[in-house]
């Protein structure tokens, strides 16, 4: 594994959404590997960027406050980069339904802007796109693999699917070295806990630490899989490092799917306090609920040698410890 990662030493790396949850964790890892890291983030409040996320490495990275929708700015920023981790995006499913045009701009049109900037100004940069399991919609079978039908249930899923396929088309037609990872529920330190826009688990952690009651929609039997952020970062790095990944799409996934009710019980047990309740689905959430979901990561395991290494219990313990100390900086 270290042989693959040694190639980042001294290389130029751009991370869009670099002050957000996954982007900042990736930045820490790349700094450790000796990369020259440029973080691009709009710092729009509802999208999760937070300067606190790079505490300790401020002097070892460059930060450019810019919006990926700025086509001219991106043409300048992609120049000279060896790797581009394209993590910027609008991830709220509910926001995409109430404001579909903004979601379209960020998750679809801006992806074209980045790809066009690379096609004209840096066609050899390796581009790693953060896609989502949401594009599968309600599963027809489990675990979901990459051959599963794509049937998004909300505007966010449709636009993320378009963004992903722009990357694949630009590889197939123009030869840009691109790869897409369909992330599942990623959690860990630096995740957004201010609200449920990015992930319900982050919101639950805030509620737990503040003594509020965790609310579980429906009967709580919905199954989900989870990846600790360090494992997701390793997948991104492996996809960037290996030419075999070019033009490919990979699922991530966890080993032990868990129901939402069991997840709430585990959180309470790990914290040593807390409570939860079952409540009816709000109509706006019920319309876009996908039921059970857990994915197969067999393809990325076989081709790139990735598998999740952090158990849910261990990852949640680390996450609770982080936010017990740093919660005021995130709310």
pLDDT digits (tens, 9 = 90+) for 223-255: 999 999 999 999 999 999 999 999 999 999 999
| pTM assigned to the model | 0.95
Question: Confidence class of residue 181 from pLDDT cuts 50, 70 and 90?
Answer: very high
Mean pLDDT of the chain: 94
pLDDT at residue number 212: 97
What are the φ and ψ backbone dihedral angles of 277, each rounded to 5 degrees? -150, 150
Tokens read off for 206: 């805030």
Buried b (16+ CB within 10 A) or exposed e, 153-174: bbbbbbbbbbbbbbbbebbeee
First-to-last CA distance in the chain? 37
Average pLDDT over residues 1-17: 91
Domains of the chain: 2-188+225-254+294-309 (3.40.50.720)
pLDDT in tens, 267-306: 999 999 999 999 998 887 777 788 899 999 999 999 999 9
pLDDT in tens, 81-95: 999 999 988 877 778
> What is d(CA 303, CA 300) in angstroms, rounded to the nearest whole number?
5
Question: Which of 237, 119, 122, 121 shows the shortest CA–CA distance to 167?
Answer: 119
Q: Would the pLDDT of 199 be above 60? A: yes
> What is d(CA 255, CA 314) in angstroms, rounded to the nearest whole number?
13
Average pLDDT over residues 112-137: 96
175: region left, alpha or beta (phi > 0 left; psi from -120 to 50 alpha): left
What whole-number percentage of the chain has pLDDT above 70? 99
Cα 106 to Cα 17, 39, 112, 262, distances in angstroms: 11, 17, 10, 35
> What is d(CA 82, CA 28) in angstroms, rounded to the nearest whole number?
18
Q: Would the pLDDT of 73 be above 70? A: yes
User: Do 252 and 22 touch, CB atoms closer than 8 A?
Assistant: no
pLDDT at residue number 282: 83
DSSP label at 245?
G
pLDDT in tens, 46-57: 777 999 999 999
């Amino acid at each position: 594994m270290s042989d693959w990662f040694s190639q980042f030493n001294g290389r130029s790396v751009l991370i869009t959404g670099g002050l957000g949850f996954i982007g900042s964790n990736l930045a820490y890892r790349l700094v450790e590997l000796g990369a020259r890291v440029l973080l691009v983030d709009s710092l729009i409040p509802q999208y999760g960027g937070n300067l606190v996320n790079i505490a300790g490495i401020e002097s070892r990275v460059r930060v450019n406050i810019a919006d990926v929708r700025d086509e001219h700015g991106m043409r300048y920023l992609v120049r000279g980069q060896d790797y581009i981790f394209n993590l910027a995006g609008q991830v709220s499913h509910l926001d995409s339904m109430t404001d579909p045009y903004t979601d379209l701009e960020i998750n679809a049109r801006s992806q074209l802007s980045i790809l066009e900037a690379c096609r004209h100004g840096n066609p050899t940069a390796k581009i790693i796109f953060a896609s989502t399991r949401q594009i599968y919609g309600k599963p027809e079978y489990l675990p979901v693999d990459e051959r599963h039908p794509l049937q998004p249930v909300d505007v966010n899923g449709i636009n993320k699917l378009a963004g992903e396929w722009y990357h694949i088309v630009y590889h197939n037609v123009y030869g840009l070295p691109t790869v897409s990872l369909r992330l599942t529920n990623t959690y860990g330190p630096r995740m957004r806990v201010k609200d449920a826009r990015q992930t319900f688990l982050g919101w639950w952690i805030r509620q737990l630490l503040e003594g509020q009651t965790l609310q579980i929609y429906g009967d709580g039997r919905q199954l989900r899989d989870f990846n600790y952020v360090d494992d997701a970062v390793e997948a991104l790095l492996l996809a960037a490092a290996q030419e075999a990944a070019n033009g490919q799409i990979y699922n991530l996934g966890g080993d032990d799917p868990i129901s939402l009710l069991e997840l709430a019980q585990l959180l309470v047990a790990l914290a040593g306090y807390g409570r939860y309740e079952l409540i009816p689905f709000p109509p706006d959430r019920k319309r876009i609920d996908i039921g059970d979901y857990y994915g197969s990561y067999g393809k990325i395991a076989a081709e790139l040698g990735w598998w999740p290494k952090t158990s849910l219990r261990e990852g949640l313990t680390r996450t609770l410890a982080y936010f017990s100390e740093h919660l005021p900086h995130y709310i």
